[in-house]
Amino acid sequence: MSDLTTETVATFLAADNNVVTDELDGRVGLYATGNTIHIEVAPRRAAASGPEGGEENAVRFEAHVFPVEPALPAATEPVHLDPATARELTYLSPGEDLDGWTVVKSEEHGHTRWNSHHTLIIRNDAGEHFAGHYRKGLTENQDTKPWEGERTARFDPVVSRARVAQVHNWVTPAKRTGPAPAAS
pLDDT, tens digit, 9 for 90 and up, residues 2-55: 566 777 777 777 766 555 555 556 677 788 888 888 888 877 655 555 555 556
Q: What is the mean pLDDT of residues 141-161?
A: 88
| C-alpha to C-alpha distance for 38 and 25, rounded to whole angstroms | 18
Residue 37, judged by CB atoms within 10 A of its CB (0-12, 13-18, 19+), counts as middle
The torsion angle over the Cα atoms of residues 52, 50, 48 and 27, rounded to 10 degrees, is: -10
Average of per-residue pLDDT values in the chain = 81
In this predicted structure, what is the pLDDT of residue 44?
65
| C-alpha to C-alpha distance for 123 and 102, rounded to whole angstroms | 5
In this predicted structure, what is the pLDDT of residue 9?
72
Q: What is the mean pLDDT of residues 102-126?
A: 92
Q: What is the mean pLDDT of residues 64-73?
A: 80
Confidence of residue 81 (pLDDT cuts 50, 70, 90): very high
